[in-house]
Amino acid sequence: MITIKRINKNSQKFITQENDIISFGIDFGTTYSLIATANLTDVAIISDSKNRALLPSIVNYSFSKPIVGWKARNMSVNDPINTITSIKRFIGSSLKEIKKLYPDLPYNFKSNTSDTVEFIINNTVLNTIDISSQIFNTLKNRIITLFGQKINRVVITVPANFNDTQRQEIKKSAQLANLNVLRLLNEPTAAAIAYGLHLKKKGIIAIYDLGGGTFDISILNLHNRVFEVLSTSGSMNLGGDDIDYLLLKYIKNKIIPLHSDDLSLQKELLNLAQSIKIQLSFKHYVTTIFKSHSFCITRMEFNNVIQPIVLKTLNICKHVIHDAKISIENIDHVILVGGSTYIPIIRQRVMEYFKKNPLFSINPDEVVVAGSAIQANMLTKKNKVNNIILLDVISQSLGIEVMGNIVEKIIYKNTKIPISQTREFTTFKDNQKSILIHIVQGEESSVFKCKSLSRFVLKNIPEKPAGKVIVIVKFQIDVDGLLSITAKIKSTKIEQKIFIDSNYT
């Protein structure tokens, strides 16, 4: 059995061998981030000097040197424009998407050449890679403080529903912080690893992961130290942040007749909504005063407010169970992951839906980082004691655009990775000299309803009648879920290879 503990510079040192290579797991979260390490018997979650394992994923740019974590969180009310919160939600998103989803954010945005959002802060343009790397740097410094050595080898968890662009950005952020990324590991899979080794669980397991900004649900089959993902899905805009915004709207519209463009006031109200949400996890009502307005919110009111979010998560669960080709009765265990699963109505509805009591014996905030640390230790030490076989899948289909703005899928969602698939295509007009290859991700048949990942042009095509030139397109996905594409002309062997880059379209 694996045990999980916390350590910091004031506690007993984690037991390692002299000259041992230490690897780490990082849970890069929307609201909080964590770092941990593991050996054969223990997982050690690294805390700061105040024994706080959680690091708020917040960066403030009021001064020449960025401020990260708890200090930045304390500055968010008085300086909301320069304090970036929930940066994970912006990764891989376009300016259009952000403004549609979050119209009231205080930040100054711009769109870059790859149609992803950037921030203008103190006349400086920062992208999501720059900002995320500050969080990785701060976690890295915890290791330097505790172990007196540089952190290098890491496994970083990502939402199962992250697309290729988002995974690339996470990897680049870590590399900017001088971290050697051993693997990108899906968050639900990391949780399954922790529970599988901690409680020796086996059978069909559902991982219900509702965090600060994202929701994932994965179905796994655990047998003979094989962790096989059967299906996975989720939403990038479903989490604790959304609960906070719904409660904020309820407070403003139903209780406090307060409509102001004051950014500090809006942030203060949002923090209040978050505080009320947390208190209602262990209280039946909360009475408070805000700017001379006294009000009370009951747990029943709160449950009604967040009902749409709960129903959305359960609807996604329904589709994932169908994709796994099982029934609810086939599921042996349900594991709760993510801070939002502390909310009583969520635990109750999950229990009712799956018809069994969910497991949360490992802290839902810490289970993902524990699994990532275990995986990092396995990849580094290659020991046979706790070693497992991990069979993960891709969460979204991949394909290319063909005539009529239609998507030709090449690799389908829930395909085991790593994987390589090849398709043959032909020219559609006489004497065609080049072909534009447009790579997309998603389940819709229309290219306009899928996520555009990249475009590149295959040139120097032999001038022949339409349909006479054959182009071979090969998609390869590695264990991190990262995509590379090779396109070549069959008759001439002219070839072009591309790794999807978030800065390239």
Q: Is the dihedral of CA 134, 271, 260, 301 positive or negative?
A: positive
Crossing angle of helices 367-381 and 187-198, in 10° steps, is 80
The SS3 of residue 88 is helix
Cβ pair 378, 389 in contact under 8 A: no
268 is catalytic: no
Report cis status (omega within 30 of 0) of the bond before 418. yes
pLDDT of res. 387: 72
pLDDT of res. 260: 63
Cβ pair 336, 359 in contact under 8 A: yes
Kindly report the pTM of this predicted structure: 0.89
Strands of the 470-477 sheet, one edge to the other:
419-426, 470-477, 483-489, 495-499
- State the Cα–Cα distance between residues 315 and 461, nearest whole angstrom: 47
Q: Which amino acid is at 419?
A: I
Q: DSSP letter string over 234-276?
A: EETT-SHHHHHHHHHHHIIIII-------HHHHHHHHHHHHHH
Count of CB atoms situated within 10 Å of the CB of 168 = 26
Crossing angle of helices 344-354 and 299-323, in 10° steps, is 40
List 377's β-bridge partners, or say none. none
Torsions phi, psi for 306 (to 5 deg): -95, 5
Comparing C-alpha atoms, which of 115, 190, 105, 101 is closest to residue 503?
Answer: 115
- State the Cα–Cα distance between residues 195 and 186, nearest whole angstrom: 15
Entry field: residues in the chain:
505
Strands of the 117-121 sheet, one edge to the other:
109-111, 117-121, 124-127
Active-site hit among 88, 171, 409, 413: 88
- State the Cα–Cα distance between residues 395 and 233, nearest whole angstrom: 6
Which residue in this structure is represented by tokens 């991700």?
441
The CATH number of 398-499 is 2.60.34.10
Tokens at 75, concatenated: 């500055």
Domain boundaries, the chain: 398-499
242 is catalytic: no
pLDDT of res. 502: 43
Question: What is the full per-residue pLDDT of the chain (505 aa) written as tens digits?
Answer: 567 777 776 665 555 554 567 789 999 999 999 999 988 778 899 998 888 999 999 999 999 899 999 999 999 888 889 999 999 999 988 888 888 888 778 888 888 777 788 999 988 999 999 999 999 999 999 888 887 777 778 999 999 999 888 999 999 999 999 999 999 999 999 999 988 766 666 789 999 999 999 999 999 998 878 889 999 999 988 999 999 999 998 988 876 666 666 778 888 888 899 999 999 999 999 998 888 888 899 999 999 999 999 999 999 999 999 999 999 999 999 999 999 999 999 999 999 999 999 988 889 999 999 999 999 988 887 655 557 788 889 889 999 998 889 999 999 999 999 999 999 988 888 888 888 889 999 999 999 999 888 888 888 888 888 888 888 999 999 888 888 898 888 888 777 777 665 433 3
Round to the nearest angstrom and report the end-to-end CA distance of the chain.
47
pLDDT of res. 505: 33
- State the Cα–Cα distance between residues 287 and 343, nearest whole angstrom: 18
Active-site hit among 187, 216, 242, 480: 187
Active-site hit among 118, 130, 209, 242: 209
209 is catalytic: yes
Side-chain half-sphere CA neighbours of 188 within 13 A: 33
Torsions phi, psi for 181 (to 5 deg): -85, 110
How far out from the chain centre does Cα 328 lie?
A: 26
48 is catalytic: no
